[in-house]
Amino acid sequence: MMEIKEPRGMLYLVATPIGNLEDMTFRAVRILKEADLIAAEDTRNSIRLLNHFNIETRMTSYHEYNRYDKAVYLVNRMLRGEKVALITDAGTPGISDPGEELVRQCMDAGIPVTGLPGACACIDALALSGQSTRRFVFEAFLPHDKKERERVLQSLERETRTIVLYEAPHRLKKTLAELEERLGDRDITLCRELTKKYETVVKSSLSQLRTWHEENEPRGEYVLVLAGRDPEDLEKERQDQWKALSLEDHMDRYLKAGMNRKEAMKKVAGDRGMKKREVYQALLDQNDREDG
């Protein structure tokens, strides 16, 4: 049997403040001091955090443009027994940033990965939003690529879960207008500069916030929390689409797909929000009219 050597190193995913430095945990400070190396998204930004907490551990850059090759380098160091702490510019690493690639490579190499929970703009905004928090979908920043952006927007049109998005100030007005056009005038909570001095949380509608920002220039970083689509409205729309077909044409679709008449009738009833006997009777009445 092949002997499996346990790796001696470890990857620590260390959450850092998204604005207020008091949100740094005691454990996060300790691990950053004890680590052999800190992998930071932007070392110029992170050095201010380390200096504030008197952390002298050496840093190396790990960002979007070196995420694959640098991950290999970091994994090799951990395989030699080193402890690497990963931090992002703000918040929890691995969430909508290059850290996910490093985590994947560590998993593949058998290197233990652990997380140090802390600030996360997505979760903070959701909790403050006043929107439903039971089910939500996180889309981070909408894609810049037109085709990919269109694909995401199409999926969001029918999304019934609460939607969480990030947006930069210079793109906010365009995004609000686009969301209103595609999703309708949904309820939305706009969270700005979370945990910072000028934190603002506004619950309103897409149309009202779009109109307000036409005259007030956006400033700071934003998290958008949108209400999902009403499932009852979605079901009614689906039924209305089916009702555009005649009962016979609707039945014919399922019969041609290989279903027997009983199965097809059950599917048609479900599609149209009817009872099976109602479909049966309607088809009988239609046949009687045609025979007459």
CATH code at position 92: 3.40.1010.10
Name residue 187's amino acid. D
Is the Cα torsion angle 98, 99, 100, 104 positive or negative in sign?
A: positive
User: Could you tell me if 30 and 85 lie in one domain?
Assistant: yes
Express each pLDDT in 250-285 by its tens digit: 766 777 777 787 777 787 777 777 777 776 676 665
Strands 37-40 and 187-192: unpaired
* Whether residue 26 is found in the same domain as residue 115: yes
Structure tokens at 4: 């499996």
- Asked, for residue 107, whether it belongs to a domain, the answer is yes
Same domain, residue pair 32 and 66: yes
**Domain shared by 73 and 100, yes or no:** yes
Asked if residue 292 belongs to a domain, the reply is no
- The pTM of this model reads 0.78
Angle at 96 between CA 148 and CA 60, to 5 degrees: 125
Q: Are residues 15 and 49 in the same domain?
A: yes
End position of a domain, from candidates 104, 119, 134: 119
Looking at the predicted structure, is the pLDDT value of residue 189 above 80?
Answer: yes
Long-range pairs for 280-288 at CB < 8 Å and ≥24 separation? 282/247, 283/247, 283/248, 283/251, 286/247, 286/248
pLDDT score, position 2 = 45
The structure tokens listed for 218 are 């956006």
- What is the domain count for the chain? 3
Q: How far apart are CA 141 and CA 168, in angstroms?
A: 9
Specify if 260 maps to a domain. yes
Residue 184 lies inside a defined structural domain of this protein: yes
pLDDT of residue 1: 44
35 lies in some domain: yes
Hey, what are 52's tokens?
């504030």
Domain that holds residue 56: 10-119
Tell me the one-letter amino acid at 233: D
Question: Does residue 264 sit in the same domain as residue 281?
Answer: yes
Q: Rounded to whole angstroms, what are the CA distances from 135 to 164, 169, 176, 275?
A: 11, 27, 22, 30
Identify the sign of the CA torsion 259, 261, 266, 270. positive
Residues 270 and 174 in one domain: no
Whichever domain contains 132, its CATH number is 3.30.950.10
Q: Domain ends where: 119, 144, 175?
A: 119
Which residue, chain included where needed, has tokens 């690529």?
145
Same domain, 261 and 212: no
Pair type for strands 136-141 and 113-116: unpaired
Residues 270 and 212 in one domain: no
Q: What is the mean pLDDT of the chain?
A: 88
Tell me, yes or no, whether 16 and 102 share the same domain. Answer: yes
35 pLDDT more than 80: yes
Residue 68 placed within a domain: yes
| 52 CB neighbour count, 10 Å cutoff | 12
- The pLDDT tens digits for 8-17 are 799 999 999 9
Query: Is 115 a domain residue?
Result: yes
Q: Are residues 90 and 129 in the same domain?
A: no
Q: Is the pLDDT of residue 33 over 70?
A: yes
Rounded to whole angstroms, the Cα distance separating 131 from 188 reads 8
Are residues 115 and 32 part of one domain? Answer: yes
In this prediction, residue 235 carries a pLDDT of 66
In a domain, 291, yes or no: no
Helices (H), the chain: 26-34, 43-52, 67-79, 99-109, 121-128, 146-157, 172-183, 206-215, 231-243, 247-256, 261-272, 276-291
Residues 211/152, Cβ–Cβ less than 8 Å:
no
Domain end, chosen from 119, 144, 174, is at 119
